[in-house]
Amino acid sequence: MVISLRKWLRSGKYLILFVALAYTFYKALGLLDDYVFHEDKYRVPEGSAVKVFREGVPGSAGMETMADRLKLFFWYGE
């Protein structure tokens, strides 16, 4: 009984250590990601760049359907 309890405590200690290190590694990668890719992905494009997604009410005049947009995408190869 005592040996089994010691075995469980040792295993629990290693499990807690593993979870703590994995969480620390996850947070460190998040900080590295923020440092390297600090741009705002949702900003308005500058220069000759074009934003692909257009906001608007679906079905309004001048709006293509998703199928039409996909056809144009594959037709032009962009």
Question: Do residues 51 and 45 lie in contact, with contact meaning Cβ atoms separated by under 8 Å?
Answer: yes
Distance separating alpha carbons of residues 31 and 37, to the nearest angstrom: 10
Q: Please tell me the predicted confidence (pLDDT) of residue 20.
A: 98
Q: How far apart are CA 30 and CA 26, in angstroms?
A: 6
Structure tokens at 18: 């593993």
- Look at the pTM and tell me if it is higher than 0.75: no
Per-residue pLDDT in tens (0 to 9) along the chain, 78 residues: 667 888 898 899 999 999 999 999 999 999 998 888 877 777 777 777 766 665 555 555 555 677 887 888 788 775
Q: Which residue's entry shows tokens 């679906």?
A: 58
CA 18 to chain centre: 24
> What is the reported pLDDT for 1?
62
